[in-house]
Amino acid sequence: MPANPPTSRQNGFSLIELLIGMLIAIEILIAALTVFDVHNRMARIQMQVTDMQQSLRVAQYDMVRATRMAGRGGLPTGFAVDNVTLGVPWLRGLAVEARDNVADGGDNQVALGTAEPVAVPGTDILSVRGCLSGLLFQMDATNPTDFSLGTMTVRRNLPSGRSQDLTELFAPGFAGPMLLQSAVNRMQYAVAEVTAVAGAPAIQANLLISFVSTTGNPLVVAPPADFVPGFTCALEEYRYYVRQGFETAPDDTIQLKPRLARARMMPGTELPYAGDAANLTLDLADDIFDLQIALGFDTDYDAAGSGVGSFDNDANATGGDDVFYEGADDAARRTDDWLGNSSVDDPTDAAFRINAAIPARPVRLYYARISTLARTARRDPKYTAPDFDPVAGVDFIENNDYDAAPASAFKTRENRQYRHRLLQTVVDLRNI
């Protein structure tokens, strides 16, 4: 054997092998990053959709709860075609009011005569009134000294042994007005302004009241001569609307950032509750850009459009007119039981006022259908939303036409890069 055997060559990568290995590693890394990016994008989108759906639920919950309570305490529907005092052309009611498809620079002021806040043009403003969140106080109908045209007394302890909490009536800034319901006739009611509250919560509340409004409030109404109050409560009014907001100062290039908001008003007036302007802009949910209201009446319209016989007041209990009827398209919905679901609906139509079968019995309001349309907080440049309606060129949400201005702005290429969801709830107006 040789004393110094030659050293064997060590194995290794050639330059070509190294380059091939690096190329494969880079491709695997790119694939992994692509998968991660796709999943990360999908997670962001799903989070935005979840937030949007949560906004819809929050928006609907508050409006539905208040609308379901509309009229509580004995406030009737009391619809009128126009309010002559204010000179506005929308349908106005006592318990429920729907201001339809408001116009920019016109009736989109939430509090008329106040520049801010304003609703997004083309949306609706929903007003509900009644004893919506406060207590319903029982009065002692057997004690004639507890009520007069200038005073009323609400006692903590009643002859029946029932006790009631009067703290609400002594809250700082409490000013009513008070809604009173008759103890003997559910159709009798009165609304009084409160000028002063005295007494003690542990004993009784003595209220100085007036049935002559100092502000011209159309809701204030005196009771009939034989009126005996059985219940009373603080009358409330809330207005729900899509508040027109922007990312920064509004101009033609700034992105609209709408929110569903609630305004608490002094009932029957254009004044914010407690004189605080902050009560006009309580934001409830982000990225709600449309609110539409349709009101369901017991009209004389039927599926045949005959206009003879209303569905629960006519002479028989059978036939096509004994259903709550809604037309199949915008034109057919002109003559159905819903007001606010057709672009050619006429709130002055006698069908929404007069019962053809029994003229002495007023047309009854049964339902309010609340539709809210939301979008995600951010645009997705890789996504294009479909039209809101499956029939091309007939894009209506209730009577808001998304093929016409101002709603058509939401169908631009940029705005269709948002994902949208529509949520509708039919509310049974059980108190009116």
pLDDT in tens, 88-146: 665 677 889 889 999 888 789 999 888 889 999 999 999 999 999 889 999 988 888 99
Is 329 among the domain residues?
no
Terminal Cα distance for the chain, rounded: 116
On whether both 172 and 262 belong to a single domain, the answer is no
Strand partners for 209: 194
Q: Do residues 214 and 245 share a domain?
A: no
Strands 178-182 and 189-200, bridge-based pairing: antiparallel
Give the pLDDT confidence of 58-68 residue by residue, as tens digits: 889 999 999 99
Tell me what pLDDT residue 235 has.
94
- Express as a percent the part of the chain with pLDDT over 70: 82
pLDDT tens digits, one per residue of 251-275 = 545 567 888 999 999 998 889 998 8
Note whether 287 and 369 are same-domain residues.
yes
Cα separation, 302 vs 428, whole angstroms: 21
Residue 28 lies in a domain: no
Q: How confident is the model at residue 204 (pLDDT cuts 50, 70, 90)?
A: very high
Which residues touch 370 (CB under 8 Å, ≥6 apart)?
60, 63, 64, 67, 126, 291, 292, 293, 424, 425, 427
**Mean pLDDT over all residues of the chain?**
82
* CA-angle at 77, arms to 75 and 78, nearest 5°: 100
One domain, residues 63 and 106: yes
Residue 307 lies in a domain: no
- H or E element: which one contains 29? helix 15-68
| Boundary-marking domain end, from 186, 215, 234 | 234
Which of 193, 217, 234 delimits the end of a domain? 234
- For residue 383, what are the contacts with CB-CB under 8 A and spacing of at least 6? 417, 419
pLDDT for 419 beyond 70:
yes
Mean pLDDT, residues 304-317 = 54
Phi, psi of 367 (to 5 degrees): -135, 155
Same domain, 270 and 408: yes
* pLDDT > 90 in the chain, percent: 33
Q: How confident is the model at residue 277 (pLDDT cuts 50, 70, 90)?
A: very high
Instruction: Average the pLDDT over 375-401 and give the result.
Output: 78
Across residues 401-419, what is the average pLDDT?
Answer: 83
- Rounded to an integer, the average pLDDT of 211-224 is 86
Q: Specify the higher pLDDT residue, 396 or 350.
A: 396
59 within domain boundaries? yes
In whole angstroms, what is the distance from residue 375 CA to residue 353 CA? 37
pLDDT at residue 206 tops 90? yes
Residue 202 pLDDT > 90, yes or no? yes
Residues 371 and 223 in one domain: no
Give yes or no: residues 118 and 247 share one domain: yes
pLDDT given at position 317? 46
Question: Is residue 220 one of the residues assigned to a domain?
Answer: yes
Decide which of 10 and 186 is more confident: 186
Q: 99 or 354: which carries more pLDDT confidence? A: 99
Residue 11: φ, ψ to 5°: -75, 150
373 and 243, same structural domain? yes
- Three-state DSSP at 257 gives coil
- DSSP states of 59-100: HHHHHHHHHHTTTTTT-----BS-BTTTTB-S-B-SSEEEE-
- 283 with 404, same domain? yes
Last residue of a domain, one of 216, 234, 252: 234
Any domain includes 106: yes
**Residues in CB range of 272: below 8 A, 6 or more apart:** 111, 263, 264, 265, 266, 278, 279, 280
What pLDDT does 304 receive? 61
Residue 3 lies in a domain: no
What's the pLDDT at 207? 93
The CB-based long-range contact list for 381-386 (8 Å cut-off, 24+ gap) reads 381/417, 383/417, 383/419, 384/413, 384/416, 384/417, 385/416, 385/417, 385/418, 385/419, 385/420
For residues 99 and 205, state if they share a domain: no
State how beta strands 96-99 and 125-130 pair: antiparallel
Domain-located, residue 349: no
Residue-number span of the structural domain to which 173 is assigned: 137-234
The structure tokens listed for 75 are 């406030």
Looking at per-residue pLDDT, the higher value among 155 and 408 belongs to 155
| Overall domain count for the chain | 2
The answer to whether the CB of 247 falls within 8 A of the CB of 154 is no
- Asked if 158 and 213 sit in the same domain, the reply is yes
Looking at the structure, tell me whether residues 206 and 252 fall in a common domain. Answer: no
